Amino acid sequence: MRRFASGLIALCLMLLLTGCALCPTQTVPVLVTPIVPPSLTSPLPAPAGRVATNRGLLDLLADYEALRIRANKDRAAVVEILAHDAGDEE
């Protein structure tokens, strides 16, 4: 009888230990949205200027070129923010 009881206890202990091992913890994916500063997504105002001469036209063209360069830098910054947040966590 003693042998039967110790075997039964051992069987119950093994079942209890394997019962915990059969329930793996499940990880839930969490979507993290990166924060993009509003200064990078807000529209840029058009350069103001009067075009009365060729010099005025060249100045306006230079202002638009500076605005285009700034817009491209803003886009590159947004891409960098999104790529950094979507990549591997360090």
Instruction: Provide the whole-model pTM.
Output: 0.55
What three-state secondary structure class fits 46?
Answer: coil
User: In this prediction, what percent of the chain has a pLDDT beyond 70?
Assistant: 83
Residue 22 has pLDDT above 50, yes or no: yes
Q: Is 59 exposed, middle or buried (0-12, 13-18, 19+ CB in 10 A)?
A: middle
Separation of alpha carbons 17 and 56, rounded Å: 84
pLDDT at 18: 67
- In the structure, what pLDDT confidence band is assigned to residue 90 with cuts at 50, 70 and 90? very low
The per-residue pLDDT for range 28-66, each reduced to its tens digit, is 888 878 888 888 888 888 888 778 999 999 999 999 999
What three-state secondary structure class fits 23?
Answer: coil
